[in-house]
Structure 1
Amino acid sequence: MSVTKSKNIQQMFQDVRAYSEKLVAGMEIEDFILQADSFVSPTKWHLAHTTWFFEKFVLTEFMKGYEPFNEQFFYLFNSYYETVGKFHPQSMRGLISRPTVKETMAYRQYVNDKVNELLDTTEMTDHLYELIEMGLQHEQQHQELILMDIKYNLSFNPLFPALFEPKESTNVQAPELSFTSFEKGMTKIGTNGEEFAFDNETPCHDTFLNGCQIANRPVTNREYLSFIEDGGYEKAELWLSDGWQLVKKEQWEAPLYWVRNDGGWSYFTLSGLQPVDWEAPVTHVSYYEADAYARWAGKRLPTEQEWEHAMKNEEIKGNFMDHDRYQPDAHYHGARFEKAFGDVWEWTQSPYTPYPRSKPLDGALGEYNAKFMSNQIVLKGGSCVTPLSHIRLTYRNFFYPHMRWQFSGIRLADDPVES
């Protein structure tokens, strides 16, 4: 392997690790341990778990005589890797007051130093490179989770605390909704891994599409408000059965984080409570809400294959984590498919299942994606809290249909017009 490639991966390691700490620099100590529900994790745990990944899968395998920072951390900060040992229950991560935040940062520094020492003194092999690259992609996923989780954790505070300074609003009107048609035929979906990709994105394979229409932009907050005001959350005929049961049980009446005040609406953001930006994409909606909205609008959600086929020629640019906004915005650029990437993860109607001839990775990393291929739905395109360098056309995100704490939104689709 070339010296340049080896140095590049080391620089990437340093940059990604530093970026995680930049994200949390404005937090107070009290923020780091919050865990408002079992499906989210404290910020401190994310910082430690991503460090555990490099310690467990890189240092213990490649550094001779490596001495762990603390043997107990192999148990505390394993997430769900059954094949490498027992782990602390996710629902109890918020009860871990020790190690302290200070000790957690010392753990990160210790592992950073050891990985840099390893890269300075060890010949880079393909296997070592791939593990470090996987670790960096894994950490970028947790950077997004840090922001998703801390937003959810802070949302229970009636003072609506702000973690970041708000960005100036654009006050730009969203372009008129229109649709682009695609004819039926064969298309290629997925990747063969010429560049980094997770195992669930492979292999590239042929898929037949029946033809469809795809909207030029995501659904906006203003459009979603019309659904609310038309009684969308009160009409059982719009909802899948499981979704309707949730609407009644949880008393949903709007997207997560929307707050009624003075006869209008605001929403909680990572910059505190803000007026709803009506021209920006709606976000924090579940699959059930996305599907119900599509029915109300007389449309449907795209399949993941339709979405990927439609976006093949779209440039990967937009509102990502790197822009420090952390909220969908109303910037539109005249593209054929506005906001194809960034702003909001777009729900598809496709279940998260393996591609034809797909195989999990060997060893413990085979647990990374494949074992979650049940009862979840695919989302595409990235969001305002996704790192730009992390996203790609073939990326398959996945969540359970009831979840809405992620930055998820809606792009409509339809069947082709009959000729």
Structure 2
Amino acid sequence: MPAAAPDTFREQAAAALLTARDRTLALTGCVDDNDLKAQHSPLMSPLVWDLAHVGNQEEIWLVREAGGRPALRADLDSMYDAFQHPRADRPALPLLSPQQARAYIADVREHALDVLDRTPLEHTGGRGDTLLGDAFVFGMIAQHEQQHDETMLATHQLRRGPAVLAASDPPPAAVDPADLPSEVLIPGGPFVMGTSTEPWALDNERPAHQVHVPAFFLDTFPVTNAAYRQFIDDGGYRDPRWWSDDGWEHREQAGLEAPLFWERDGGDWLRRRFGVLEPVPPQEPVMHVCWYEADAYARWAGRRLPTEAEWEKAARHDPAGDRSRRYPWGDDDPQPRHANLGQRHLRPAPIGAYPDGASPQGVHQLIGDVWEWTASDFLPHPGFTAYPYKEYSEVFFGPAYKVLRGGAFGVDPVACRGTFRNWDYPIRRQIFSGFRTARDVEGVR
């Protein structure tokens, strides 16, 4: 989102909030009340909890904090506080009914849009340190709702029953991956990681800082289902040589044999995708693998996972101008020709589908399709400052969480950019996660 006047930010914020709400209502309006109240996995909240939670956060931050207005439902704050109630415990709470939740979020939205319409905004150059500067708090809440929409999409994937979601297929490959090199050399040297000017960047993306990254090779495309199947067929899941100690222990305890939602069909594999059982598409990026699986595959292939800094350099650095861009293709906001985002499709696109989204060095599909695991723990950038609350990022910093980058097909563009950071436990597989691999350049440190 390039620099814009306050009124433009106001329009962008209103549009982002509307887009998020349309998606929320679509994801919760396609199933009956029993499905909304059910917990489809202990890893996930009931959909009706997410529905009211996005409204509660909007009330807290837009109506009360930004608007300075009295609370509409202060009694809901505790019940919809994600830190007070683990997901597994939420079905036992006296949650709002689906009808009550819809009425509540509609009431909150009416007040929030009135605040947006009436509140003076200032242009701060994307500093991200004032709630109203560049409509930051409105963008933050639009991103928050879209992140819960992605979570609800993952809940739909875990849900058993007939298909209730529909979308067109992604585009076919526009270039033949066989005509491109399998890996790309990313030259060594410094680049600017993070941002201090992106208006709606969240605190963990800040501040911009220079990082030196030695030269390395990176896969041109994410690892595909076909490539991952070679790992399976070669006994990768039964050979501890390829697994870290923690990874092998988890593999044995969890009984991992293939990506989540895969099942054998004779000598082939099927996958369950949003209520549909289908053959695993060989040329799509592999999905629903945990960090330990990605790490094991990379070791088996004689490679490794890229660090977060390597991933971001490949995605943002423009060697011609020696600068960091917002996206691999440049500074323009994502368009359908660039990347598979926004739940336009309910699956990753085959590799080679988005040549217009490639980086200057020729790395494809860094944005969209699948989140990509990196080798890095989730840690603050140098000079990090928590804003506007510690619970968004700071409480998660440390070795327990691994960083994912790039977004997936279920990520809205408002919550996806070259600096955006996602994180999760290395055992998580219900997320739309894949990976690509890297290797060192011999003799370069």
Query: What SS does the corresponding residue of 1:306 show, helix, strand or coil?
Result: helix
Q: Deviation of residue 404 (structure 1)?
A: 1.1
Q: Deviation of residue 250 (structure 1)?
A: 1.3
Among 385, 397, 411, which residue is 1:373 paired with?
397
Partner of 2:49: 45
1:18 paired with 2:22, answer yes
Cα offsets for 1:240-293 (capped at 9, x unmatched): 111111111111100011012244211111252221111100011011000000
Please tell me whether the aligned partners of residues 166 and 271 of structure 1 are also in contact (alpha carbons under 8 angstroms): no
Please tell me whether the aligned partners of residues 157 and 275 of structure 2 are also in contact (alpha carbons under 8 angstroms): no
CA RMSD for the aligned pairs? 2.3
Partner of 2:382: 356
Partner of 1:302: 306
Please tell me whether the aligned partners of residues 170 and 347 of structure 2 are also in contact (alpha carbons under 8 angstroms): no
Partner of 1:106: 103
Please tell me whether the aligned partners of residues 260 and 288 of structure 2 are also in contact (alpha carbons under 8 angstroms): yes
Please tell me whether the aligned partners of residues 169 and 346 of structure 2 are also in contact (alpha carbons under 8 angstroms): no
Please tell me whether the aligned partners of residues 79 and 95 of structure 2 are also in contact (alpha carbons under 8 angstroms): no
1:400 paired with 2:425, answer yes
Please tell me whether the aligned partners of residues 287 and 402 of structure 1 are also in contact (alpha carbons under 8 angstroms): yes
Partner of 1:84: none
Cα offsets for 1:70-127 (capped at 9, x unmatched): 44311111212xxxxxx34432112346421111101111101111232334434663
Structure-1-length-normalised TM-score: 0.90
CA 1:4–1:253: 2 relative to 1, 3 Å: closer
Partner of 2:193: 189
| Inter-partner Cα distance in structure 2 for 1:2 and 1:327 | 36
| Inter-partner Cα distance in structure 2 for 1:289 and 1:89 | 26
Please tell me whether the aligned partners of residues 174 and 280 of structure 1 are also in contact (alpha carbons under 8 angstroms): no
Among 140, 143, 149, which residue is 2:149 paired with?
143
Please tell me whether the aligned partners of residues 376 and 400 of structure 1 are also in contact (alpha carbons under 8 angstroms): yes
Partner of 2:247: 243
Q: Deviation of residue 33 (structure 1)?
A: 2.1
Structure-2-length-normalised TM-score: 0.85
After superposition, residues 266-285 of structure 1 pair within 5 angstroms as 266-285=270-289
CA 1:55–1:166: 2 relative to 1, 3 Å: closer
Q: Deviation of residue 30 (structure 1)?
A: 2.2
| Inter-partner Cα distance in structure 1 for 2:314 and 2:86 | 41
Q: Deviation of residue 165 (structure 1)?
A: 3.1
Query: What SS does the corresponding residue of 1:76 show, helix, strand or coil?
Result: coil
Q: Deviation of residue 296 (structure 1)?
A: 0.6
Of 353-362 and 14-23, deviating more is: 14-23
Partner of 2:214: 210
1:320 paired with 2:341, answer yes
Letter in 2 for 1:390: A
After superposition, residues 46-85 of structure 1 pair within 5 angstroms as 46-63=50-67, 66-68=70-72, 70-80=73-83
CA 1:167–1:133: 2 relative to 1, 3 Å: closer
Query: What SS does the corresponding residue of 2:217 show, helix, strand or coil?
Result: strand
User: Gaps spanning 5+ residues in structure 2: where?
Assistant: 123-129, 319-327
Partner of 1:226: 230
| Inter-partner Cα distance in structure 2 for 1:230 and 1:337 | 27
Partner of 1:261: 265
Please tell me whether the aligned partners of residues 169 and 277 of structure 1 are also in contact (alpha carbons under 8 angstroms): no
Among 16, 28, 41, which residue is 2:32 paired with?
28
CA 1:63–1:201: 2 relative to 1, 3 Å: closer
Please tell me whether the aligned partners of residues 192 and 202 of structure 1 are also in contact (alpha carbons under 8 angstroms): yes
Number of residue pairs aligned between Structure 1 and Structure 2: 404
Please tell me whether the aligned partners of residues 174 and 330 of structure 1 are also in contact (alpha carbons under 8 angstroms): no
Letter in 2 for 1:150: H
CA 1:258–1:174: 2 relative to 1, 3 Å: farther
Of 257-266 and 118-127, deviating more is: 118-127
| Inter-partner Cα distance in structure 2 for 1:404 and 1:174 | 29
1:384 paired with 2:386, answer no
Query: What SS does the corresponding residue of 1:278 show, helix, strand or coil?
Result: coil
Of 219-228 and 265-274, deviating more is: 265-274
Query: What SS does the corresponding residue of 2:390 show, helix, strand or coil?
Result: helix
Of 247-256 and 177-186, deviating more is: 177-186
Cα offsets for 1:193-247 (capped at 9, x unmatched): 3332111111111112121001100111011111001100000110011111111
CA 1:174–1:72: 2 relative to 1, 3 Å: farther
Letter in 1 for 2:413: L
Letter in 2 for 1:370: E
Please tell me whether the aligned partners of residues 373 and 402 of structure 2 are also in contact (alpha carbons under 8 angstroms): yes
Please tell me whether the aligned partners of residues 143 and 414 of structure 2 are also in contact (alpha carbons under 8 angstroms): no
CA 1:247–1:322: 2 relative to 1, 3 Å: closer
1:199 paired with 2:203, answer yes
Please tell me whether the aligned partners of residues 63 and 69 of structure 2 are also in contact (alpha carbons under 8 angstroms): no
Of 130-139 and 331-340, deviating more is: 331-340
Q: Deviation of residue 62 (structure 1)?
A: 4.7
Q: Deviation of residue 167 (structure 1)?
A: 4.1
Cα offsets for 1:364-395 (capped at 9, x unmatched): x2221111012111111100110123211111
* Overall identity of the aligned pairs, in %: 32
Q: Deviation of residue 181 (structure 1)?
A: 1.2
Q: Deviation of residue 67 (structure 1)?
A: 4.8
